Amino acid sequence: MSTSLSLKVMYHTFGCKLNFAETASVAERFAERGHLAVDEGDTPDIIVVNSCSVTAEADRKCRSAIRSWHRRWPDAAIIVTGCYAQLKPEEVQALPGVKVVAGVNDKLRIPLLAEEAAAAVPFPPAKDLTEFMPSCSRGDRTRFFLKVQDGCDYWCTYCTIPRARGRSRSGTIAQIVEQARQAAAQGGREIVLTGVNTGDFGRGRGETLLDLCRELDKVDGIERYRISSIEPNLLTDELIDFCAQSEHFMPHFHVPLQSGSDRVLELMRRRYDTAFFASKMQRIRQAVPDAFIGVDLIVGARGETAEEFARSRDFVDSLDISHLHVFPYSERPDTRALSLPDAVDQAEKHRRADVMIALGNAKHEAFARRFLGTVRPVLLEHSGEGRPMSGFTDNYLRIRAELDPALDNTVVPMLLDALAPDGMSFLAKKA
Ligand code: SF4
């Protein structure tokens, strides 16, 4: 591998939207230094892996991908960053082909490290996770992911993320508004605000997520914003009301519940109970009746006995929500949950996941049916030769429509004409 010439770099991202946004920033830094992203069929000099450690399965997938890339391109220097690298640097360093393990806060130094990688000095992960690294990535032709916050101070008992990503910190409003302007200049029409604990934006600096949203609302060219996920206790009534009256913040909320049992919520050290969560859902429905509400749920956590699971299921069933993201609980090293009683075996976790996924699908379908035959604004995208147009309504219903490339990256009123066979998306036509 040469270090003085332009390097060919392959990027692979595991995990969340935050990681995708950060990989895009790393790629920009490589490009500024004259290095090229690999094209189809190229042999990479450098493979940058942005890892995830949200579950044991995420760690396993990362290890398996690294082994297979090393078999395919034995001369490529593999550089691993992200949560898995931060939490288990020795384990990652021992994988074949891995030359550098970079901590979460060292992502932007990776191009320099890559140039030195021939020397292969193992790089210890950063211990100090207090800096905010701004990142904004283009998700597809129309959407950008803008990181507004990083880290978390909540220490839920099952979660390893505070260890991997460090203390809660965020960008400034001025910095983030400037990134939104740049995204608009590059043709972005929609921005998804991302973070580990997004609702914690600005804490300690006298700024709030609501202040940020008010300023972003004024940026010319960005027609749509979505907030990727927000803790229920940080989803204030003021923020809900702001989304209700804003033209640019979409009727779309994503709120983690994690369990519909108060006992399990307490064991998880979540900062709300089911009554509070239900009241937030009602508040959203009153203010924004057509809102899409996505809810995260963990099944099979320690302490979730058969009775607590039944309670959780009944509670979820009682909510007027649009979608469930279901995650079987995964034991993570060094978390307090490991000392809790009542572990649930794998087969039972998967059975419970199937129950909740079926419930979530039924809710998604019922929500979609409410809009059959109505007209909603859709940000249309033409994603490639021979493909139809696709896109999302303001309230996050997926549509497909006949090809009309002139409408690419524009918001168009569309008639939701027929439900697709999945029962959750639509075949649509221009209204
Ligand atoms: S709020 Fe809880 S689950 Fe979410 S990142 Fe923080 S500690 Fe993890």
Whole-number pLDDT of residue 213? 98
Q: Name all residues whose Cβ lies below 6 A of ligand 1.
A: 152, 154-156, 159, 161-162, 196-197, 231
Fold exhibited by the domain 264-368? Transcription Regulator spoIIAA (3.30.750)
Whole-number pLDDT of residue 111? 80
Spell out the domain ranges in the chain: 8-119, 130-250, 264-368, 375-430
Whole-number pLDDT of residue 107? 77
Whole-number pLDDT of residue 140? 64
Q: Which residues of the chain have pLDDT under 70?
A: 1-5, 117-129, 139-141
Cα distance between residue 193 and residue 208, in whole Å: 14
Whole-number pLDDT of residue 306? 97
Indicate the pTM of the whole model: 0.85
Question: Considering the domain 130-250, what is its CATH architecture?
Answer: 2-Layer Sandwich (3.30)
Contact status, residue 296 vs residue 159, Cβ threshold 8 Å: no
Q: Exposure string (b/e) for 176-206, b if CB count within 10 Å is 16 or more?
A: beebbbebbeeebbbbbbbbbbbbbbbbeee
From atom 8 of ligand 1, which residue's Cα is the shortest distance away?
Answer: 159
Task: Indicate if 130-250 has the same CATH topology as 8-119.
Answer: no
DSSP assignment of 17-65 equals HHHHHHHHHHHHHHHHTT-EEPPTTPPPSEEEEEE--SSHHHHHHHHHH
| C-alpha triplet 247, 253, 254: angle, nearest 5° | 150
Q: Which residues pair with 429 in a beta bridge?
A: 415
pLDDT tens, position by position, 106-131: 777 788 777 776 545 444 445 556 77
- Give the mutation target among 154, 158, 167 for probing the ligand 1 site: most ligand atoms within 8 A of CB: 154
Which residues, in sequence order, are CB contacts of 345 under 8 Å at separation 6+?
none
| Secondary structure class of 156 (helix, strand, coil) | coil
Cα distance between residue 354 and residue 66, in whole Å: 31
Whole-number pLDDT of residue 121? 45
Tokens of 192: 């998804």
Question: Considering the domain 8-119, what is its CATH architecture?
Answer: 3-Layer(aba) Sandwich (3.40)
- Give the mutation target among 161, 198, 325 for probing the ligand 1 site: most ligand atoms within 8 A of CB: 161
The alpha carbon of 310 is separated from its chain's Cα centroid by a whole number of angstroms, namely: 29
Cα distance between residue 424 and residue 417, in whole Å: 13
